[in-house]
Amino acid sequence: MNNLKNVWQSYRAVISFALMGLVLLFVGFNQSWALVIGIINMSLISAIMALGVNIQWGYAGLFNVGIMGFAALGGVSVVLISQQPVIEAIDAGGIKMLLALALGAVTIAAGVLLNRRGINKWLISLVVVIGYLLTRYYFSEASDLIEKVDPAITGYLGGFGLPVMLSWVVGGLAAAGAAWWIGKITLSLRSDYLAIATLGISEIIIYVIKNEDWFVRGLKNVYGLQRPVPYEVDMQKSEWLQNIVAWIHRSELQFLTQSEQIDKLGDYVREASVVFVKLSYSGLFLVILVAFIVLSNLALNSPWGRKVRAIRDNEVAASAMGKNITRQHLQIFVIGSAIVGIAGALLVTYDGIFIPTAYQPLRFTFLIWVMVIVGGSGNNLGSVLGAFIMWFIWIQSGPIGLWVVEMLGNYIQEGNTSLEFIEDRVHYLRLVFMGSIMLLIMRFSPGGILPEKNKEL
Amino acid sequence: MKGYLKTTAGFVLSATMASVSHADVTIGELQGFTGPLESMIGAMSGGANLAVTEANASGKYLQGTINVVQGDSVCIDPAVAIAQAEKMINDDNVMAIMGPNCSGNTGAVITNVLVPNGIVSISPSATSPALTTLEDGGWFFRTAPSDARQGPVLASIAMSRGQTDMAVTHSNSDYGKGLADAFVTAYEAMGGTVTVMAGHDDDKADYSADVAALSAGGSATLAILGYADTGGRGIIAASEDTGAFSDYVFGDGMISAVTEAAVGDGSWGTLPSPDAALGANWLAVAAAGGVDGSGVYSAESYDAMALIILASQAAGSSDRAAIQAEVMGIANGPGMECHAGKLADCLKWISGGLVVDYVGATGVEFDAGGTANGSYAEREVIGGAFTNVKIHK
Amino acid sequence: MTSDSIDIINAFALLTNFVILPALSYGSQLALGALAVTLVYSVLRFSNFAQGDSMAFGTMIVILLTGFMISRGWTISGIPTALLVIPIAIVFTSMYLLTMDRLIYRHYRKIKAKSITIVMSSIGVMFVTGGIVRFVLGATAQKFEDGERFIFSVREFKAYTGLEQGIALKTSQFLTITIAFLLVAFVFYFLQKTKTGKAMRAYSDNKELALLSGIDPDKMVQITWLLVAALTTIAGALYGLDKGFAPQQYHLLLLPIFASVIVGGIGSPIGAIAGAFLVAFSEILLTYAYKKFLIYLLPLSMHPSSLVQLIGTEYKYAISFVILVIVLLIKPTGLFKGKVIVDE
């Protein structure tokens, strides 16, 4: 028994990942590879997101509940970079919109400058209010003009028509910019303020995206985004794929009649094309994830990383030694948020659609947090493991819940009202399930499955 | 350790295999059981499953017993919707999918699942005009008409009733916003004046500010393009409490028992529906099956499910491509008319080689893009209940 | 409307009906929730993210009991049945909250965990509670209001006063404002005058000192949860009476409640109430379109053609956070000096 425990202690990471891999393999063999690779891809994206959060929480103890907002900024970048510009809309109101935005910027700048000069507060307020009203006037005129351009299909300015992979970088930069601003306001306050402020600001970001149609089409979604990988339908027509598939299944196909062969081959090619496209995504995501893990480990072992750890382990002492804690925290907050932004861009690219209403705190903030906690806060590999486990549970909890009810149903006679009641409501148990997992792990294994080494709790 | 793995693996296997028995066929029901539309899904799921119960009970469906695998699309999370759809296709081996719900999710499922895998889905409630132009390879159908049509119908009825100015509020969703755009464009082109147009969030705390702003435009008429069970209900309550508006105009999402109980006579709205008789028939069929037939999109859900079953019967198989080939013909006729509650006859006719035209609960007719092309009923609140006044083609 | 005379009375009636009364009742509902959050923060030292869902839990009990009472015919005409069952619902809610404390929060108090850890566990509680409520009641919106809806309606008011603009006073609005006022008064009396209340304040100000002077910490915690349960249940029930119940709606109430608490100064009861009314009034005042109002007040030549609206109603729920950010920038401790917990 002791032996087993020792093995577990020293090979925790290897064993856990191996187990997760086995579960996925099992699903692959029993259900389908397309399904498994789909789960893996979403897990990889979630892992990148969790990594960003883990850097903030594990390296600096920053509780960021605004993950949703940063991820959404990444999504916006995808639309802005990769969509084709809508020339008509730009002609209709593009210049006016630019002017309105410039006016807004001037107003803010004027307010800040006057404030620095120490001029009468009432006068500053007057300037700001007049500036705001003027901006609002031109702004609503411009946005009306843009939104009137074929609202069912476009009704927005469109993007720059650049390759979609560029938007991943831009998404990171956008999130970093927002994080810098939020951090400036709240990081010096510490404690729960950052949590509540990030929660609020992420909501504001979503409100702006939802309501400013001229920007990224608002509630009407942006369909058919560019892909960095080929389309399945095109793949199905490509000869090389057909040949490969025919070769793989040659033993099965050779005994069939010609028409059966074509039918069967068609099915196999279809499946192969789906798997191929998904695998291409997996490759891209995996490279990015590994790069981030390597980079963050390198950084932690650099002089900068030693400073980070010194501050985390003993803030008071570090502060006494003249380290600027707030600045340090701001750096980490910006880096972590940038990674979340990149993951947000990856997600929208993978979905091929931008849906502002999809940004819900439950899915984008709290699920990611559960991943970080379950996997092991402070440990990058832990976050990755947590992402795989929780995404698997998130996807499978529905079927498992239904299965439990069906099993119950075998013991209760047909038409029992309480059973029907449970069947109707079983979907809501997912919430209870997620919450309980989070609470249990926090209580009984505060370090998560893969706790960080050498960290005092 | 070994034992643990075995149970986990066995669990996942049986969890996904439990509902599939191989002699039968399976249809996926991909709906947003949780998420923003959760309050409406009960009636919709009821409608859909009523069609299955009916077909199974008739014993006339030839491919075996129909099973339904439910999947929670969460309505607004494309990743979950895609994963659930893929699970249905690859693991439950469904012959077609009924759903999904929200337009955004639907778009994601079309591009990422339907087209690559070659499977039919019939959505009961995705009404976004943008879906019309999305490349779907002919795999996607919807029993709810596009809002691009409902908007002009609403506008012309309003003008013919002499309502030349009104405030407009829409649910902050792709449905509400899309419908509002279509309506306002048409209404202003016909010479109507929109005094204020503002969105409202569903499931929010308080709508008094929304109503106050809407009423400040000075019009006594308010068009509510949203959901009866969530935001729309709140808007009506706040408006009635403050006496801000006396007349209302409703989009189809608002035509429900909740609404008619809350407003006075004379308010009206549109609902995709061919004629009064069909509407009444559906209510009776639904009531007999223990389903809330007045629930928004419950009739469309019944039709979506019934169409899949009938197409499979006509194809004589549960093959996905064969089903796709039949959907259009079954829905658009010509042939023997099939009505809601009469699936048994319909299945019998099809297996007997007769040509049928599925009318169903809502009088489904698809346009070339696979979007329901039916007419709209103008429904007015008379004596505290929505009553069909006129049918608009 | 077409007259060019200045009509102050109608302008005032308009503002009362559309701005003042709704903002007052919304503010009262927020105030009770904010008070609960601030109490938890002062005594238990964490921001309770489960507050919105706890309100849903309390309301769920009220709804179940109301249904039971009505089915038995145990009602009093004219009074919402929900009011009668609130005391019993409070008992259930406090049992639930105390159980959660015993199972979850107590452990972290014992090991002196960082406040952020407790905040995270409250997020777990939020999930579980929200799930329970949806499982029991479903996600559908519900109404459980019975009795008279209006004390006086717009029509009655217009007929009585002969004004062009009417004012309506709903029973639920009246009850909300009165009960909230009484409850707030009681909480302040309790904190300022009673022995237990004073002990609680002492405990909240300085734990160590309070322990030395013989205050039982477990008792303090229990009393806090009892108070919180009462505030939570009443706030939830009043809110539901006024605007209907839907789990998601209650969950989202968390945001304006937090904004109120921080704006007022976290940990300060009076600040929580001031913050709540500030949030409620600014949400409504900033998004109100003043066109009609100005038409009553200004001569014809100056009648505005636009809506005179400062911010679109779409951004109503963002306003509380904009206020929050401004307060954090200018006066981080809030309007009434709150406290920022530093980890021990």
Mean pLDDT over the full length of chain B: 85
**Residue C265 predicted with pLDDT over 90:** no
Choosing from A138, A157, A176, the residue where a domain stops is A157
**Residue B17 predicted with pLDDT over 60:** no
Confidence category of residue A114, pLDDT binned at 50, 70, 90: confident
pLDDT at A191: 62
Percent of chain B with pLDDT over 90: 42
For CA atoms A124, A130, A132, A138, give the dihedral sign: negative
Inter-residue contact C116 to C344 (CB < 8 Å): no
Range list of H helices, chain C: 8-15, 21-44, 51-72, 81-100, 106-110, 115-137, 154-161, 171-193, 195-205, 207-212, 217-243, 247-252, 254-264, 269-287, 291-297, 316-330
Residue A295 domain-assigned (yes or no)? yes
Same domain, A356 and A427: yes
User: Which of B301, A240, B242, A38 shows the shortest CA–CA distance to C22?
Assistant: B242
Confidence category of residue C104, pLDDT binned at 50, 70, 90: very high
Question: What are the residues of chain A with a beta carbon less than 8 Å away from any beta carbon of chain C?
Answer: 61, 63, 185-186, 189-193, 195-197, 199-201, 203-204, 207-208, 210-211, 366, 369, 373, 424-425, 428-436, 438-439, 442-443, 446
Domain that holds residue A248: 12-85+158-444
B:C CB pairs within 8 Å: 114
At A312-360, the pLDDT tens digits run 777 777 777 777 888 888 999 999 999 999 999 999 999 999 999 888 8
**Long-range CB contacts for residues C167-170, cutoff 8 Å, separation at least 24:** C167/C13, C167/C16, C167/C17, C167/C21, C168/B241, C168/B242, C168/B243, C168/C17, C168/C21, C169/C21, C170/B241, C170/C242
d(CA C120, CA A198): 14
For CA atoms C173, C175, C179, C181, give the dihedral sign: positive
Would you state the structure tokens that stand for residue C196, as one six-digit string? Answer: 């237990």
At A210-258, the pLDDT tens digits run 888 888 988 888 988 989 998 888 888 888 888 888 888 888 777 778 8
**Residue A307 predicted with pLDDT over 50:** yes
Range list of H helices, C244-312: 247-252, 254-264, 269-287, 291-297
C-beta atoms surrounding A18 within 10 Å: 11
pLDDT at B140: 95
Choosing from A106, A134, A157, the residue where a domain stops is A157
d(CA B195, CA B216): 9
For CA atoms B244, B245, B246, B252, give the dihedral sign: negative
pLDDT at B2: 31
Same domain, A334 and A427: yes
Tell me the angle at which helices A325-351 and A33-60 cross, rounded to the nearest 10 degrees.
Answer: 170
Is omega for the bond preceding A361 within 30 degrees of 0, making it cis? no
A315 touches chain B (CB under 8 A): no
| Numbered ranges of CATH 3.40.50.2300 in chain B | 25-144+279-360, 147-264
Measured between CA atoms, the residue of chain A closest to residue B109 is A351
C-beta atoms surrounding C339 within 10 Å: 17
At A178-195, the pLDDT tens digits run 999 888 888 877 567 788
pLDDT at B8: 32
pLDDT at B51: 95
Question: ipTM of this predicted complex?
Answer: 0.84
Inter-residue contact A218 to A210 (CB < 8 Å): yes
Judged by CB atoms closer than 8 Å, whether chains meet at A193 and C262 is answered as: yes
Same domain, A127 and A239: no
Would you state the structure tokens that stand for residue B52, as one six-digit string? Answer: 């299955």
For C259-270, what is the mean pLDDT? 87
Residues of chain A neighbouring C321 (CB-CB closer than 8 A): 200-201, 203-204
Instruction: Tell me which chains share at least 3 CB pairs under 8 Å with chain C.
Output: A, B
Distance to chain A for C118, nearest Cα, Å:
10
Give the least confident one: B316-325, C53-62, C326-335: C326-335
Q: How many CA atoms lie within 13 A of C220 on its CB side?
A: 27
Judged by CB atoms closer than 8 Å, whether chains meet at B173 and A219 is answered as: yes
Most confident of A328-337, A359-368, C322-331: A328-337
Residue A74 domain-assigned (yes or no)? yes
At B157-202, the pLDDT tens digits run 999 999 999 999 999 888 888 899 899 999 999 999 999 888 888 8
Same domain, A348 and A285: yes
Same domain, A302 and A427: yes
Would you state the structure tokens that stand for residue A211, as one six-digit string? Answer: 């309501």
Instruction: Tell me which chains share at least 3 CB pairs under 8 Å with chain B.
Output: A, C
At A270-285, the pLDDT tens digits run 888 988 999 999 999 9
Judged by CB atoms closer than 8 Å, whether chains meet at A403 and B86 is answered as: no
At A393-438, the pLDDT tens digits run 888 776 677 777 777 766 655 555 666 677 667 777 778 888 888 8
pLDDT at A43: 95
Confidence category of residue C344, pLDDT binned at 50, 70, 90: very low
Would you state the structure tokens that stand for residue A46, as one six-digit string? Answer: 């979630």
A210 touches chain B (CB under 8 A): yes
At C1-20, the pLDDT tens digits run 445 567 888 888 888 888 89
pLDDT at A413: 56
Judged by CB atoms closer than 8 Å, whether chains meet at C120 and A425 is answered as: no
pLDDT at A190: 56
d(CA A340, CA A53): 7
Judged by CB atoms closer than 8 Å, whether chains meet at B230 and C316 is answered as: no
Of A195, A434, A439, the CB nearest to C104: A439
Judged by CB atoms closer than 8 Å, whether chains meet at B112 and A31 is answered as: no
Residue A34 domain-assigned (yes or no)? yes
At C50-91, the pLDDT tens digits run 999 999 999 999 999 999 998 888 888 778 888 889 999 999
Judged by CB atoms closer than 8 Å, whether chains meet at B209 and C283 is answered as: yes
pLDDT at C273: 92
Judged by CB atoms closer than 8 Å, whether chains meet at A443 and C135 is answered as: no
d(CA C135, CA A432): 9
Judged by CB atoms closer than 8 Å, whether chains meet at B5 and A19 is answered as: yes
Of B42, B76, B137, the CB nearest to A355: B76
C-beta atoms surrounding B23 within 10 Å: 7
Distance to chain A for B152, nearest Cα, Å:
13
At B220-256, the pLDDT tens digits run 899 999 888 778 888 998 898 888 898 999 998 888 8
Judged by CB atoms closer than 8 Å, whether chains meet at A23 and B8 is answered as: yes
Strands (E), A77-204: none
Percent of chain C with pLDDT over 70: 97
State how far Cα C97 lies from the chain centre.
18
For B47-73, what is the mean pLDDT? 91
Residues of chain B neighbouring C140 (CB-CB closer than 8 A): 38-39, 42, 229
Same domain, A192 and A217: yes
Confidence category of residue B19, pLDDT binned at 50, 70, 90: very low
Same domain, A74 and A178: yes
Same domain, A106 and A235: no
d(CA C43, CA A272): 60
Specify the length of chain A in residues: 457
Side chain identity, residue A417: T
pLDDT at B151: 92
Task: Give one DSSP letter per residue of C101-127, joined into a string.
Answer: IIIIIHHHHHTT--HHHHHHHHHHHHH
Confidence category of residue C38, pLDDT binned at 50, 70, 90: very high
Query: Residue C283's beta-bridge partner residues?
Result: none
Confidence category of residue B6, pLDDT binned at 50, 70, 90: very low
Q: B147-264 architecture in CATH? A: 3-Layer(aba) Sandwich (3.40)
Same domain, A351 and A432: yes
Q: What are the domain boundaries of chain C?
A: 15-250
Side chain identity, residue A226: Q
Q: B25-144+279-360 architecture in CATH? A: 3-Layer(aba) Sandwich (3.40)
**Residue C253 predicted with pLDDT over 80:** yes
Residue A454 domain-assigned (yes or no)? no
**Residue B23 predicted with pLDDT over 70:** no
Percent of chain A with pLDDT over 70: 94
Same domain, A206 and A113: no
Which tops the pLDDT comparison, C17 or A377?
C17
Domain total of chain A: 2
Inter-residue contact A317 to A311 (CB < 8 Å): no
State how far Cα A183 lies from the chain centre.
20
For C172-179, what is the mean pLDDT? 92
Query: Residue B372's beta-bridge partner residues?
Result: B366
pLDDT at A419: 64
Same domain, A18 and A74: yes
Inter-residue contact B144 to B363 (CB < 8 Å): no
Mean pLDDT over the full length of chain A: 86
Percent of chain A with pLDDT over 90: 30
Cβ-proximal residues to A225 (8 Å cutoff; 6+ apart), any chain: A78, A79, A82, A83, A164, A348, A349, A351, A352, A353, A354
**Residue A368 predicted with pLDDT over 80:** yes
Residues of chain C neighbouring A196 (CB-CB closer than 8 A): 47, 258, 262, 324
